[in-house]
């Protein structure tokens, strides 16, 4: 990608340089937001429930390329990663959240060779950024990771030496914990997590997955192409007793780690692979999606004394019907809401794992939903957004349509939804 020089603007308003640390309603820091679960805090936000190309759209900015990463927002900045369709050039956009003007865009990594994606549901720019005061972290898996100063647009540090054969393209998003940037690298050759010093990019710890693979031939070679070993998940943090743990699903197993040193605490095994959904927390339980194969949803009891393989001792329930492969679920009160890739929407009782109701919302779904102002928003690959009211029966609030479909999950900052379609970034707001 080559961009006009006029777009390389690094003059940022003083407002952008006076960020405050922590969560507030004008930031959306991670894939699925500051809490990592799609739930919008500090409501009401007065978000719209109806829009179209001609209604409640503040601005619409074209994003050239093919990248399914979600936007992150810090005050007047919206960041999205980008890539050419062939993966030869990977870069980033920074867009003014109020006006939709491009603050700057540039290439970060040039790749002489990349492996073909082999499917239409991933891209070379699927990992979402993570942002905090003064710095945004951009990650393209083994192709490279970079920290950028949000006030100047200058690169702070860059890494291109973390091996992983993603095979179908990268997908896991980076996360921040204290002074660490934690990366998930689940490929067909290597499967590990690593923590970098967020200020310098230096490796602090690296932990290999301890997964017991069942695809080894008698001669020691991997059966098939290794597809069953890869994953695209993003870790979730939660407190168990007095300790913070990091829960990270991978192919065949979900692991809990100590995020400070990377030591494995416990694991749960299953048959899935290519996990993309981010897990959610319900009271003292974590709900994980096992990915491809025959996807199922598992509720695991969180126990400060849990160690080792807890598959037989700590699984509350395990369901197989109407479970998505890619889209993450969302929790409201004692229910979980999820949609399959083909648009079968289910409300699940989280205590029992039993279905409360199911209905159909036409379309295909990869994007993960958000919950705000008492409504749940589901964006489809066809450009629709179905807004529903959570509860004991299916209640459709509205069905909206835009010109391009959505693979990326939306962000919310202030009173606006920032939704990235296959071609544009939208700011949706009541006007």
pLDDT tens-place string over residues 257-300: 999 999 999 999 999 999 999 999 999 999 999 999 989 999 99
pLDDT number for residue 280:
98
Ramachandran region of residue 56, left (φ > 0), alpha (ψ -120 to 50) or beta? left
3-state DSSP assignment of residue 145: strand
* Nearest CA among 251, 275, 330, 290 for reference residue 122: 275
Model confidence band, residue 5 (pLDDT cutoffs 50, 70, 90): very low
Residue 28 near residue 412, CB atoms below 8 Å: yes
Calpha distance 47→401 (Å, rounded): 16
- CA pair distance 9, 7, nearest whole angstrom: 6
Of 427, 360, 357, nearest to 80 (Cα)? 427
Alpha helices in 160-310 (DSSP H): none
Report which of 102, 7, 10 is spatially closest to residue 60, judged by C-alpha positions. Answer: 102
Q: What is the mean pLDDT of residues 165-177?
A: 96
Q: Is the confidence at residue 331, as pLDDT, over 70?
A: yes
Q: What is the pTM of this model?
A: 0.93
Q: Could you give the percent of the chain with pLDDT greater than 90? A: 88
Using DSSP, state whether 299 is helix, strand or coil: strand
3 state SS of 411: strand
Q: How far apart are CA 40 and CA 427, in angstroms?
A: 16
Instruction: Spell out the domains of the chain, with CATH numbers in brackets.
Output: 173-318 (2.40.128.630)
């Amino acid at each position: 990608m080559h961009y006009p020089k006029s777009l390389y603007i690094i003059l940022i308003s003083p407002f952008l340089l006076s960020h405050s640390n922590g969560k507030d309603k004008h930031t959306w820091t991670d894939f699925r937001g500051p809490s990592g679960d799609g739930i919008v805090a500090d409501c009401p936000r007065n978000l719209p429930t109806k829009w179209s190309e001609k209604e409640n759209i503040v601005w619409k900015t074209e994003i050239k390329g093919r990248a399914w990463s979600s936007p992150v927002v810090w005050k007047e900045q919206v960041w999205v990663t980008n890539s050419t369709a062939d993966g030869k050039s990977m870069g980033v956009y920074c867009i003014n959240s109020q006006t939709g003007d491009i603050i700057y865009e540039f290439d970060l990594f040039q790749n002489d060779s990349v492996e073909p994606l082999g499917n239409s549901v991933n891209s070379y720019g699927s990992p979402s950024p993570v942002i905090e005061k003064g710095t945004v972290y951009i990650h393209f898996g083994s192709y490279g990771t970079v920290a950028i100063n949000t006030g100047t647009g200058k690169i702070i540090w860059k890494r291109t030496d973390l091996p992983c054969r993603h095979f179908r393209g990268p997908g896991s998003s980076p996360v921040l914990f204290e002074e660490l940037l934690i990366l998930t690298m689940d490929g067909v050759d290597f499967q590990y997590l690593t923590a970098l010093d967020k200020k310098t990019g230096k490796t602090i710890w690296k932990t290999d997955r301890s997964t017991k693979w069942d695809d080894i031939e008698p001669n020691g070679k991997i059966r098939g192409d290794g597809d069953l070993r890869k994953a695209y998940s993003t870790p979730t943090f939660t407190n168990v007793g007095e300790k913070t743990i990091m829960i990270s699903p991978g192919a065949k197993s979900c692991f809990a780690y100590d995020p400070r040193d990377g030591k494995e605490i416990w694991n749960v095994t299953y048959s899935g692979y290519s996990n993309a959904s981010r897990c959610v927390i319900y009271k003292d339980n974590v709900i994980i999606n096992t990915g491809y194969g025959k996807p199922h949803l598992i509720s695991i009891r969180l126990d400060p004394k849990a160690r080792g393989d807890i598959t037989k001792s700590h699984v509350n329930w395990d369901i197989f019907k109407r479970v998505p492969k890619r889209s993450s679920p969302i929790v409201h009160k004692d229910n979980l809401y999820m949609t399959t890739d083909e648009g079968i929407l289910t409300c699940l009782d989280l205590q029992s794992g039993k279905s409360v109701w199911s209905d159909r919302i036409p379309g295909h779904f990869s994007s993960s939903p958000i919950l705000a102002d008492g409504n749940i928003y589901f964006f489809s690959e066809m450009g629709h957004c179905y807004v529903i009211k959570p509860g004991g029966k299916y209640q459709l609030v509205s069905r909206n349509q835009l010109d391009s479909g959505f693979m990326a999950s939306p962000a919310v900052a202030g009173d606006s939804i920032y939704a990235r379609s296959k071609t544009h970034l939208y700011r949706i707001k009541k006007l």
